[in-house]
């Protein structure tokens, strides 16, 4: 009961309180109808219920991509896991183009890496070549979304164990 009351009061103040604080490691985007403007750190007034300030963190962050399974041109299964060090370069573009820039970046990076493995033969798949080939594509796509990828690191690149199911015909 008390938790519900506290949550309701907090929600009320967030909706109707006209002062918004953008912290030093964030940038704000003021959205008021069709009017959009980027603002830096500080206190800002907004029109309750009519306008909003969306805050986006701009300090460098790490995006860890889940281990994914990809098959090479030779038909060999590979397991690959990468991490990206990135930061938001253009807040308005990142907010409008992606909505959730972290999820968009991870999905795009996984697609680029899987495509690279699919087009490569086994003897050409190395961590150095993956980093060289995929970094350019990932940086290019991220820049279009207002993101800046500083570094791509490969956490795991190995051939996946092949599991074969053997069916006992006598059973």
Question: CB of 114 within 8 A of CB of 82?
Answer: no
Q: Which residues pair with 38 in a beta bridge?
A: 29
In this predicted model, what pLDDT tens digit does every residue of 133-142 receive, in sequence order? Answer: 999 999 999 9
Give the residue, 21 or 165, on which the prediction is more confident.
21
Inform me whether the pLDDT recorded for 169 exceeds 70: no
Give mean pLDDT, residues 97-106. 87
Angle value at C-alpha 46, between 35 and 33, nearest 5 degrees: 25
The DSSP code for 162 is P
Please report the pLDDT score of residue 120 as a whole number: 93
Q: Which of 62, 55, 54 is nearest to 24 (CA)?
A: 55
Query: What CATH class does 61-159 carry?
Result: alpha beta
How far is it, in rounded angstroms, from Cα 22 to Cα 30? Answer: 11
The percent of residues above 70 in pLDDT, for the chain, comes to: 94
User: What pLDDT band is residue 163 in, cutting at 50, 70 and 90?
Assistant: low
In the chain, domain spans: 2-57, 61-159
Please report the pLDDT score of residue 99 as a whole number: 79
Beta strands 42-45; 19-22: pairing state: antiparallel
Inform me whether the pLDDT recorded for 33 exceeds 80: no
In this predicted model, what pLDDT tens digit does every residue of 40-68 receive, in sequence order? Answer: 898 887 777 677 888 888 899 999 999 99
How far is it, in rounded angstroms, from Cα 138 to Cα 78? Answer: 20
Q: Which of 164, 165, 131, 124 is nearest to 150 (CA)?
A: 131
In this predicted model, what pLDDT tens digit does every residue of 107-128 receive, in sequence order? Answer: 999 999 999 999 999 899 999 9
Question: CB of 63 within 8 A of CB of 109?
Answer: yes
With 0-12 / 13-18 / 19 or more C-beta atoms within 10 angstroms meaning exposed / middle / buried, residue 82 is buried
User: What pLDDT band is residue 100 in, cutting at 50, 70 and 90?
Assistant: confident
In sequence order, which residues have a C-beta less than 8 Å from that of residue 65 and are 6 or more positions away? 81, 82, 83, 84, 106, 109, 110, 113
């Amino acid at each position: 009961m008390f938790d519900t009351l506290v949550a309701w009061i907090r929600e009320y103040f967030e909706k109707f309180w006209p002062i918004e604080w953008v912290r030093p490691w964030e940038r704000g985007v003021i959205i008021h109808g069709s009017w959009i403007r980027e603002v830096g750190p500080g206190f800002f007034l907004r029109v309750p219920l009519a306008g909003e300030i969306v805050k986006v963190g701009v300090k460098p962050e790490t995006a860890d991509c889940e281990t994914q399974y990809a098959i090479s041109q030779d038909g060999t299964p590979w397991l690959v896991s990468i991490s990206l060090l990135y930061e938001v370069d253009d807040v308005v573009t990142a907010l409008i183009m992606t909505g959730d820039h972290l999820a968009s970046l991870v999905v795009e990076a996984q697609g680029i890496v899987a495509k690279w493995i699919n087009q490569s033969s086994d003897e050409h798949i190395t961590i150095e070549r993956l980093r060289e080939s995929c970094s350019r594509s990932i940086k290019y796509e991220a820049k279009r979304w207002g993101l800046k990828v500083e570094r791509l690191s490969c956490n795991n690149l190995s051939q996946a164990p092949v599991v074969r199911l053997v069916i006992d015909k006598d059973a």
